[in-house]
Amino acid sequence: MNALRDRVIVTVAPTGGFLTRADHPYVPTQPEEIAADVARCHGAGASMAALHARRPDDQATCDAEIYRRINDLVRERCDIVVNNSTGGGVTGDMVRTREDGTRVVDWAARLDGLGGGADTCTLDAITAYISSPYGEILMDTPPSRAAELATAMRTRGIKPEWEAFGPSHLLQEIRTFTAGEPGPHLVNMVLGLDHTFQNALPYTPAILQQMVDVLPDDSVFSVSISGAEQIRGLTHALLLGGHVRVGIEDNPCLVPGEPTENVRFVEHIVEVIERLGLQPATADEARTILGLKGALDEQ
């Protein structure tokens, strides 16, 4: 692991659960488009892909068959660590309405997202309202459901990617559910969604430092930042020894008002990494850092 201390896992998040082609000309939504885009990003230095699935009508889904199709096409084109979302999005299969009128992210749909054969899957152990263009939607994840997700992932050989929106998630849910489990624990710190997720936080140097300070032992952390502070915040993450995520899901434009292709985000952050005297990790190096099957030290 120490031999890889100067290697940085660059994750590309090409699609997300919100934007459609009507919102952004370069967002890939269908399996062939996503796979081709991920392959380009892998060639530019990405070693992990954080993937969302969409139905043929571009609405959000966690349908296992669609995920498996995406994942297979990605793996045909390149060797990259595959991450699938279990949050999915706020349209399509991902939303249902309760009897009281509350709109919620569907629990069964989230579980279905584990069936695509990914290396890692997101695990949002949070309960919060999402403010979206489609209204308020509740992501309802009590501790029992977080435990169910974690157990289901580990049973399938999937490494959980714990998403932390603030220090409390690290000190409560994530610390609780990683206790006694073998590491390394993969934690993605999500900042800049304070106008979208209830109780989420903006990026500031103090907030990121505090979150790093309270990480569970034996954690590998990555940072994704939405909004204008992205490059500043990701540079800070690199200086703290973290890994980084870029892509249209997090920030649709490198220059405000100018939609950007995913590969350009990857190229830009790789330049920052290299200017700091670091190197983007290969996919095999990423597997070693994350303790995944197929890692270099297992070959």
Composition of the chain by helix, strand, coil, percent to 5 = 40, 25, 40
Nearest partner of 173 among 130, 141, 138, judged by Cα: 141
Q: What is the distance, to the nearest Å, from the Cα of residue 213 to the centroid of all Cα atoms in its chain?
A: 21
Q: What pLDDT score was predicted for residue 133?
A: 86
Quick count: other Cβ atoms within 10 Å of Cβ 175?
17
Per the structure, the complete domain to which residue 142 belongs is given by: 2-298
The rounded distance, in Å, linking the Cα atoms of 175 and 153 is 17
Q: What pLDDT score was predicted for residue 295?
A: 58
- Please tell me the total count of domains within the chain: 1
CATH of the domain at 98: 3.20.20.70
Biggest distance spanned by C-alpha atoms of the chain: 56
Ordered per-residue pLDDT tens for the chain, 299 residues: 467 989 999 999 999 999 999 999 999 999 999 999 999 999 999 999 999 999 999 999 999 999 999 999 999 999 999 999 999 899 999 999 999 999 999 999 999 999 999 999 999 999 999 998 889 999 999 999 999 999 999 999 999 999 999 999 999 999 999 999 999 999 999 999 999 999 999 999 999 999 999 999 999 999 999 998 999 999 999 999 999 999 999 999 999 999 999 999 999 999 999 999 999 999 999 999 999 987 555 44
Strand partners, 138: 104, 129
Helix (H) or strand (E) holding 132: strand 128-132
Q: What pLDDT score was predicted for residue 299?
A: 40
Determine contact, residues 54/60, Cβ cutoff 8 Å: yes
Strand partners, 105: 95
What is the model's pTM? Answer: 0.96
